[in-house]
Chain A
Amino acid sequence: MDGRKISAIFKKQLKDTMKNKTVLIQFIMFPLLVVIMDHSIKMEHMEEHFFVPLFATMYMGMAPLTSMASILAEEKEKNTLRVLFLSNVKPMEYLIGIGSYILLACMLGTGVFAVTGEYKGRELLEFLFIMLAGILISTLIGAAIGAWSKNEMSATSISVPVMMIFSFLPMIAMFNNTVKNISRLLWSGQINRFLNQLGTAGMDMETVCVLLANGAIVLFLFGMAYKKSGLA
């Protein structure tokens, strides 16, 4: 593992994203939306900052997943990934370079949510921590999809339904009990549950178990895709 190569990939991605509107919009849309909604919609009986945990869950389920999948699939399709590997870049160096870029971009977005939600002290720490965990899982799912797909089109056709499930089920769970039970088995559902009780209870065993189990499954799927893709 070579830090120099990881940082070269990271800087490349930073420049490229500035010119890649489809990825850029993923990072900006929800933080922007939450600022607007939080300031403009105020109804009676509505919890303060009602939209923050809701949109934070969707952001976490969508942005890292779709951007990682599309960046990786595009590099495979356009042959730039092969050129990198032939220039001595190891697959793991590449994935860490892109992954850490996505992590940084999404944590900046998370900062916008934190400010909008006016989280302080323990609440803030819990918020940042759980978002970080969710973004990591989401990035890993994106990497698995990207490694699995031959091109950007097929990556999109897989990542859209997958991200819909993870980001919308927790929201639909508010209205439907069956969905609520399914959602509790998903990492995004647990994170959403946790976000709604920040600073009050701490993390219970259920959340920890679901996150660990989901993390393990995702890691396994990623390993399979990684082997199949010829990246390894």
Chain B
Amino acid sequence: MNNGIHMKNIVKEFGGHRILNGIEIKIEKGEIFGLLGPSGAGKTTLIKILTGQLTQTEGEAELLGTDTRRLTDREYSRIGMMLDNTGLYERLNCYDNLLLFARIYGLSGDKPQEALKMVGLWEAKGQTVQKLSKGMKQRLVLARAMINGPDILFLDEPTSGLDPANARGIHRLIQKQREKGTTVFLTTHNMEEAEKLCDNIALLCEGSIVEYGNPGEICRRYNHQNKICLSLKNGKQILLENDSNGAWQVYNCLKEGLVEAIHSTEPNLETVFMELTGRSFE
């Protein structure tokens, strides 16, 4: 039995319009997987198919070894979800929001406390959701998604609209999931986030996967320039060939004490996406 997520040739059409076009991805247990794409690419649609909220037009997907069209209580109790719309009870406080789900899952009474502490909201446990900042709400949703100790976590744009400090907080929580062996499926249109967190990513553009793999490897694969870039103390930059001739020049610059920094010219995911699709990301 597989404990991950397997997709085979997933096609989804809405009224004859093709939104997903033959998606084929395998996500292993314990992997942090990132689905990247501009808004409207079909990311949320794919999550909905994988979690049984939508049925695909063609193809097959398996979650925890079960066809996603036939998920039962057994699978749902093992997954956690953070959807793009929060779905919190605005008039209830943080604690009561989690207590409801602890009761639904039949968990022990200390789970809400544990979850609130994990996301750093224990101090705010008595505050009504209405009065929380966006970042706090997002953390509360994450706590709710993780309260049942899921084997698979779906996070749909977990940091969209958050400032960098709050986003880093969410990143740390996601990284902690790695230690627990949780499989994480996250979507984002933030390239840096994906490079930082994910074992593997897929670039989704107009319903098709245009690139798949480890983010570092993808960037190296698109390093056509293969050059070394020196930033000099006088503010100039020089590009050198990545060969013995270049090495001599680096040596000379270093000897004369001119060098401020040395970079490679590997592209980042953003430039890879541009190269593949001819369009920018945001």
Contacts and interface: CB of A to CB of B under 8 A. Distances in A.
Do A and B share a complex? yes
Interface of A: 4-5, 7-9, 11-12, 15-16, 19-20, 78-80, 82-84, 86-89
Contacts of A20: 91
A80 B33 CA distance: 26
Given A87-B101, A88-B77, 17 more contacts: A4-B106, A5-B104, A11-B100, A15-B96, A16-B89, A16-B91, A16-B92, A19-B91, A20-B91, A79-B83, A79-B85, A79-B87, A82-B87, A83-B144, A86-B76, A88-B76, A88-B105
A58 B91 CA distance: 28
B35 interface: no
Contacts, number: 56
Contacts of A8: 100, 103-104
Contacts of B92: 12, 15-16, 19
Contacts of B104: 4-5, 8, 84, 87-89
A87 B76 contact: yes
B145 to A, nearest CB: 9
Interface of B: 51, 53, 73, 76-77, 81, 83, 85-92, 96, 100-101, 103-106, 128, 144
Contacts of A83: 81, 83, 87, 144
Given A83-B83, A87-B76, A88-B76, A78 B90 contact: yes
A9 B103 CA distance: 9
A214 to B, nearest CB: 34
A80 B89 contact: yes
Among B73, B76, B89, B100, the one with the most A-chain Cβ atoms within 10 Å of its Cβ is B100
A82 B51 CA distance: 12
B266 to A, nearest CB: 40
Contacts of A79: 83, 85-87
A78 B105 CA distance: 21
Closest 9 CB pairs of A and B: A8-B103, A83-B87, A79-B87, A19-B91, A88-B76, A12-B100, A79-B85, A8-B104, A80-B87
Contacts of B73: 88
Contacts of B106: 4
Contact of B81 (A11, A86, A89): A86
A7 B85 CA distance: 26
B11 to A, nearest CB: 22
6 contacts: A8-B104, A12-B92, A79-B83, A82-B83, A84-B104, A86-B53
A8 B96 CA distance: 11
A12 B105 contact: no
A9 B77 CA distance: 17
A74 B63 CA distance: 31
A199 B100 CA distance: 44
B139 to A, nearest CB: 16
Contacts of B103: 4-5, 7-8, 11
A84 B88 CA distance: 10
A167 B226 CA distance: 80
